[in-house]
Chains A and B, each alone.
Chain A
Amino acid sequence: AQSVTQPDIHITVSEGASLELRCNYSYGATPYLFWYVQSPGQGLQLLLKYFSGDTLVQGIKGFEAEFKRSQSSFNLRKPSVHWSDAAEYFCAVGAQTGANNLFFGTGTRLTVIP
Chain B
Amino acid sequence: EAGVAQSPRYKIIEKRQSVAFWCNPISGHATLYWYQQILGQGPKLLIQFQNNGVVDDSQLPKDRFSAERLKGVDSTLKIQPAKLEDSAVYLCASSPAGGNTIYFGEGSWLTVV
- Residues of A in contact with B (beta carbons under 8 Å apart): 4, 32, 34, 36, 41-46, 49, 51, 90, 92, 94, 96, 99-107
Residues of the A chain whose Cβ atoms lie less than 8 Å from the Cβ of B24:
none
Q: In the complex, what distance in Å separates the CA atom of A106 from the CA atom of B100? A: 21
Most chain B CB within 10 A, of A36, A90, A99, A100, is at A100
Task: Determine whether the beta carbon of B95 is less than 8 Å from that of A43.
Answer: no
- Residues of B in contact with A (beta carbons under 8 Å apart): 4, 31, 33, 40-45, 48, 55-56, 91, 93, 95, 99-107, 109
Minimum CB distance partner of B98 in chain A: A100
| Contacting residue for A101 out of B41, B45, B103, CB 8 A | B45
Q: Smallest distance from the beta carbon of A108 to chain B beta carbons, Å?
A: 10
Contacts A99-B48, A99-B55 known; A46 to B42 CB distance under 8 Å? no
Q: In the complex, what distance in Å separates the CA atom of A36 from the CA atom of B104? A: 10
Q: In the complex, what distance in Å separates the CA atom of A52 from the CA atom of B70? A: 35
Residues of the B chain whose Cβ atoms lie less than 8 Å from the Cβ of A46:
101-103
Ranked nearest first, the 7 interchain pairs of A and B with the lowest CB-CB distance are A104-B42, A43-B106, A44-B104, A43-B104, A101-B45, A43-B107, A99-B55
Q: In the complex, what distance in Å separates the CA atom of A4 from the CA atom of B48? A: 20
Minimum CB distance partner of A105 in chain B: B42
Q: In the complex, what distance in Å separates the CA atom of A104 from the CA atom of B89? A: 15
Q: In the complex, what distance in Å separates the CA atom of A45 from the CA atom of B3? A: 11
Q: In the complex, what distance in Å separates the CA atom of A93 from the CA atom of B109? A: 24
Residues of the B chain whose Cβ atoms lie less than 8 Å from the Cβ of A102:
43, 45, 102
Q: In the complex, what distance in Å separates the CA atom of A51 from the CA atom of B100? A: 9
Not counting A43-B106, A100-B31, A104-B43, a sample of 12 additional A-B residue pairs whose C-beta atoms are within 8 angstroms of each other reads: A43-B104, A44-B43, A44-B104, A94-B102, A96-B100, A99-B55, A100-B100, A100-B102, A101-B33, A104-B44, A106-B41, A107-B42
